[in-house]
Amino acid sequence: MGTRVPDKALAEAAVKAGLRKLLPRRVGRGDIANGLEALLGYAWLEETLTLDEIVGCLKTEALAPANNFAKLAQLALSKLEK
């Protein structure tokens, strides 16, 4: 069973990963978080990210969960650009 990740953490991760600059200028925190979720969902459906890669990024112990999601988003962006 999973837990809900707050929009604030996901939006912070999107900014750290560089995803924010790819989104329209006037969007709120919830839309930024949804953009990050959409990126990760798309990468999963396209089989760009493996479950091992996702778990590897998210299980790392970091002080802020946003850092783990930023690392995962950066991995997804780099693999999708190829």
pLDDT digits (tens, 9 = 90+) for 18-29: 998 888 889 999
Q: pLDDT band for position 1 (50/70/90)? A: low
**For position 76, what pLDDT does the model report?**
95
Tell me: the pLDDT tens digits for 36-67?
999 999 999 999 999 999 999 888 776 778 99
**For position 71, what pLDDT does the model report?**
94
Give mean pLDDT, residues 26-37: 94
Task: Based on DSSP, count helices (H) and strands (E) in the chain, helices before strands.
Answer: 4, 0
Task: Look at residue 63 and give its three-state secondary structure.
Answer: coil
Cβ neighbour number for residue 80 with a 10 Å cutoff: 13
